Chains A and B, each alone.
Chain A
Amino acid sequence: MPIQVLMPALSPTMEKGNLSKWLKKEGEAIKSGDVIAEIETDKATMEVEATDEGTLGKILIPEGTADVAVNTPIATILSDGESADDLGKAPAAPKAAAVAPDVAQEVAESRSPVGEGKPMISAPAAPGAPKAAAEPDPEVPEGTEMVTMTIREALRDAMAEEMRRDPDVFVMGEEVAEYQGAYKVTQGLLQEFGAKRVIDTPITEHGFAGIGVGAAMAGLKPIVEFMTFNFAMQAMDQIINSAAKTLYMSGGQMGASIVFRGPNGAAARVGAQHSQDYSAWYSQVPGLKVIAPYSAADYKGLLKAAIRDPNPVIFLENEMLYGHSGEVPKLDDYVIPIGKARIVRSGAHVTIVSWSNGMTYALKAADELAKEGIEAEVIDLRTLRPMDTDTIVASVKKTGRAVTVEEGWQQNGVGAEIATRIMEHAFDYLDAPVGRVSGKDVPMPYAANLEKLALPSVAEVVAAAKAVCYR
């Protein structure tokens, strides 16, 4: 019976990909291990290896097909003795093809967890979100055309626009140029701006972070990409001691206009050393600004603001969100002010404060709560330092209850800081202690079930919101 070859997944979270090339023709003999096709996502290209022997019977998905869902049959392999006539027969249990990363990929992949995220529930599109987009950013004029783009594209456009605008802006980091970005965030920048301004570094975070800060002290405006913020631990000294403190230590004479950006927090199934959320770490440091957006528009507008800012800015992205799309205003200069939270959904009963991927849980929880008659007001903090305390406090004064949602650890976390500020500024308005939903107090486990347990969940946010509402 013919064997079906299925569209393989490049990562546990990949949902679809492009079938870019067939390397074998129909009727050609295939041995186990032969590379039969190439598939790609927006992040990586992979070779599909045959796991069975026989003859390539029929190609079901022609090359050049985009968005092929994982597990779609892409070809059939005929075993010895079978002929094309057998193709009509019902297939045996389908087998997924193995994926063989090529060598160049392997280097980056071992350092860059690949994973496509879940579909983003952006506020306006959220099903059953009656009061979505309560407060659009005031800087977008009415009637502005909205363009749907992925967060990855929004980031790239922000960098490209700022590089066109200011010749002192350049990008440096591992695989940002010729490889087109480990997560393809810098795709196309090398082609437009050349090797002088899009610079591949060796794997040497401490060193290139220091070189970036030195260049910034001399007046350039570097964008330093960390393949993930986990690796920025190696560069922590230069970020804190050199970038954040120099303006103060020099009595205002010199500082560093520099952006450190890259994916932060948990991706999927990459274990403890690749899954840490550094929101609390960086946002403790005076001299740094810390941004962690959720929506595509905010990613673009805030990255442009970060590049223009004369201070060192930590720009925390989230890998799970890179592939997600959102609407971005089509404006020549869409810059969102740093330090302003956004009320994504208004409600009267409980305030939920989150940022970055935490918003995914917060918004879904708000939908659930609405079904039970609890109207949650959801605040996307967007900037962690300086923190928009006013927006939080005003909301809590209205609702009398608050829950924070973060992927990071609870002790000394951003949620702890938010709770303290609420206590300091709205104590008399609180009808219940502030609830915190956070990552669990453990290194990130690898096993799928444990990883899920270690992260916040919609159910936990719902439970916390109900608890502060005494429901």
Chain B
Amino acid sequence: MAAAKKSVTKETGQEKGQDKASGAGSPPDFTREQELRALRDMLLIRRFEEKAGQLYGMGAIGGFCHLYIGQEAIVVGMQMALKQGDQVITGYRDHGHMLACGMEANGVMAELTGRQGGYSKGKGGSMHMFSKEKNFFGGHGIVGAQVSLGTGLAFANRYRGNDFVSLAYFGDGASNQGQVYESFNMAELWKLPVIYIIENNRYAMGTSVTRASAQTDFSKRGISFNIPGEQIDGMDVRAVKAAGDRAVAWCRAGKGPFILEMQTYRYRGHSMSDPAKYRTREEVDKVRHDQDPIEQVRNRLLAAKVSEQELKAIDAEVREIVNASADFAQRDPEPDASELYTDIYR
């Protein structure tokens, strides 16, 4: 099983000589500050998503609600490799990406409940949120669309001659969409600075990768376009960050796109309405027990003699943010009826 592997990195780009990005055997250790930041940011996403699940159950959140629980190390690790001005775009499982980008929990939660204080004034919902300020370009509900759009963000960077990088996140399911490969082709052809991050959580909705993909090593999906790729343990935030550093350096140096397959696992269903008949309880429990990205960091911190008290303080801070966001999202009024006809044209 993919996610049970140790950190694996491999070169899949065709011969690139000295230009090859070099993978690392085991990820370099984080500093104490990095560990604490990673823990805090992952915990925020975990607690936020748990709260969103509760609110969904209470009927406060409507429609679809896709939770990111289990995959937190990916967005948190990648964000640590970015600089101000880099762009992020993703699909519909997007709450974690937004929080990692620094978007306010209040605004995200209020969007989930469809209130005026939500990032899209309540008009976007769970799958469609954006923040110009934080360079977060959505939140897209059509599987795979964000891959072309994210390539377009990279096109804009290249056109303007800046050194920003765009991150296009998508899943193992989206990896089978045609426009992904159309984008790969143009990205390499024009040397666009885009990192394609394939979050392989092993199930596209209810279909396992082995039932949907002829090539289940997603790091190889760029081979026919000469795009290098690596397979990364997406449950280890250190491995993610290290891979992110390599890919970002590759892109900033003008060498074109890079593919990172993040091997991960979602603990919850595809959406809140998922009966989860396609996998066993034992499978889920085993990943949670053996590989949980947050527990990995917590254990390392404890081993490094960080006090339980300090970790509890982080817990408390995060819970406070999340509880406040839930309160806000339920108190905040729905958008005014006049908003129905705004923001169609500008």
Partner-B contacts on A (CB < 8 A): 170, 196, 201-202, 204, 206-220, 237-238, 241-242, 246-255, 286-287, 289, 310-311
Contacts and interface: CB of A to CB of B under 8 A. Distances in A.
B185 interface: yes
A241 B153 contact: no
A338 B182 CA distance: 33
B346 to A, nearest CB: 5
Interface string B129-154: 11110000111111001011111111
B119, B145, B152 — which one has the most chain A CB atoms within 10 A of its CB?
A: B152
B346 A211 contact: no
Chain B contact residues: over half helix, strand or loop, or mixed?
Answer: mixed
A216 B182 contact: no
Contacts of B343: 247-248, 250-252
A291 to B, nearest CB: 14
Interface of B: 87, 89, 118-124, 128-132, 137-142, 145, 147-157, 159, 178-179, 182-183, 185-186, 189, 342-346
A209 B142 CA distance: 15
Contact of A214 (B118, B123, B151): B151
Given A210-B151, A211-B183, A249-B123, A220 B156 contact: yes
Contact of B344 (A212, A213, A218, A247): A247
Given A170-B159, A210-B149, A311-B345, A253 B179 contact: no
A254 B119 CA distance: 12
Given A204-B182, A207-B185, A250-B128, A216 B121 contact: no
Contacts of A202: 182, 185-186, 189
A251 B124 contact: yes
Given A170-B159, A218-B153, A237-B142, A207 B183 contact: yes
Nearest to A218: B156
Contacts of A219: 156
B130 A201 contact: no
A210 B346 contact: no
A237 B89 CA distance: 17
Given A207-B183, A241-B145, A311-B346, A251 B119 contact: yes
Contacts of A220: 155-156, 159
A215 B155 CA distance: 6
A68 B264 CA distance: 68
Contacts of A252: 121, 342-343, 346
B335 to A, nearest CB: 9
B130 A250 contact: yes
B159 A217 contact: no
A10 to B, nearest CB: 31
A211 B186 contact: yes
B124 A211 contact: no
B130 A253 contact: yes
Contacts of B119: 250-251, 253
B159 A241 contact: no
A216 B156 CA distance: 8
A204 B159 contact: no
B267 to A, nearest CB: 28
Contacts of B342: 252
Contacts of B149: 210-211, 213-214, 217, 238, 242
A427 to B, nearest CB: 25
Contacts of B118: 251
CB-CB nearest 4 A-B residue pairs: A214-B152, A210-B148, A207-B182, A218-B156
A67 to B, nearest CB: 40
B179 A247 contact: no
A214 B120 contact: no
Contacts of A242: 140, 142, 145, 149
A241 B138 contact: no
Contact of A250 (B89, B138, B182): B138
